[in-house]
Amino acid sequence: MTDGPRPRHPALRVLASPAGATWRVVVCPHAGGAASYYRRFVGASGAPGALGGAGGADAAGAAGATDGAGAAVPARTGPFATAPEVVAVQYPGRETRFGEPLARTMTELLADVSAPVRGLLADDVPTVLMGHSLGASVGVRIAAGLGPGTAPDLLVVSGRAARADRPGTAGDAGEGSDAVGPGPAARDDAALRAWITALGGTPPALLADDEFFALHARVLRADLAVHDSLAAASGQGADVMVPLLVLAGSDDVASPPASVAPWTARARAGARRRVVEGGHFFVGERPEEVLEALRVALTAVVAGTYAADVAGPTAEDRWVWSREAVAADLREPAVSAGAGS
């Protein structure tokens, strides 16, 4: 990691910057989300293979750990064996930026967050730029047009149907629905509550709290308007010129795996796909597994094997379509640099 303090910007929240970190994860949040949600990426104490924890940032990776059955888990090795720095993008109008106006179009949102993220990417720290749900569309647009030295080393699209990135475009039936959330004409409180409940990730007690819901609905409606604004954009989505990792939740009702997979058609520097067991918020349900997938992918990128491995995927590297197959894959040990990525 670079020495000395970095300039701070309200659109960037450094959630963790452990001593000795050799890589960085920058996350663009989901619709209705904020930076603090991604504190889940900052080590999980006692979790097997966690990137950080009570024993120190590198306790599990350096000394080895045990799984739930007491079996030894191999120590993590390689250039990214340490816990990463975690930086979350903070969109305006929430948490630390509550007093600022909410963005209601993708153009407004990008005008606010693109420059600080691109500035962060301009140093020499190997960086993963990840966007979840609506954040995937934000991340893709931030990365578009960036050249060597300024682009992320790895771009991650997570939990976002490919057609949702360009609402109203034609596509095969298998690519999923254009719809994200209740339609613009049906976004009253009842419709929003039902949709949030279906997605999961929000405790029912919070949804039942009128004050909390009013604050959350204010942000969510603005972010859904950002999504709707994509329908006015002309043309197809831009090619992805950096290595791409596509993540999907096995039981995601909003963006099922089949609807996320077509993102790889845009990839021009190699693409990998992985299904993680869980619903739309699998990133919060299984943060250790998600971070390990990022680490393995970034290792392959730096080694220059990312695109080559995709051309001839291993059994562990294959795209998993059913929940039964996902469960089977999760039981398989990682046997190569490309395993599970």
Provide the pairing of β-strand 72-73 with 127-132.
Answer: unpaired
Element (H, E) at 73: strand 72-73
Which pLDDT does position 136 carry in this prediction?
97
0.75 exceeded by the pTM?
Answer: yes
Nearest to 334 by CA among 78, 40, 27: 78
| Residue 115 burial (CB count, 10 A) | 13
Burial string for 191-219 (b: 16+ CB within 10 Å, else e) reads ebbebbeebbbbeeeebeeeeebeebbeb
CB neighbour list of residue 71: distance below 8 Å, 6 or more residues apart? none
For the chain, the first-to-last Cα distance in angstroms comes to 24
Which pLDDT does position 130 carry in this prediction?
98
Give the C-alpha separation, 47 to 87, whole Å: 21
326, with CB counted inside 10 A (0-12, 13-18, 19+), is buried
Phi, psi of 87 (to 5 degrees): -125, 130
59, with CB counted inside 10 A (0-12, 13-18, 19+), is middle
Give the C-alpha separation, 198 to 326, whole Å: 22
> What would the pLDDT profile of 25-64 be if each residue is shown by its tens digit?
999 999 999 999 999 999 743 333 344 333 333 333 434 4
Nearest to 24 by CA among 208, 200, 156: 156
CB neighbour list of residue 182: distance below 8 Å, 6 or more residues apart? 191, 192, 194, 195
Nearest to 276 by CA among 311, 246, 313: 246
Give the C-alpha separation, 237 to 165, whole Å: 8
Q: Does 12-43+83-331 carry CATH code 3.40.50.1820? A: yes
> What would the pLDDT profile of 215-245 be if each residue is shown by its tens digit?
999 999 999 999 999 988 755 677 899 999 9
Domain ranges across the chain: 12-43+83-331
Below-50 pLDDT ranges, the chain: 4-5, 44-73, 173, 311-341
Nearest to 286 by CA among 220, 340, 205: 340
Which pLDDT does position 235 carry in this prediction?
56
**Residue 240 per-residue DSSP state:** B
Alpha-helical runs (H) found in 144-209: 189-199, 204-207
| 165 close to 140: Cβ distance less than 8 angstroms | yes
3-class secondary-structure state, position 31: coil
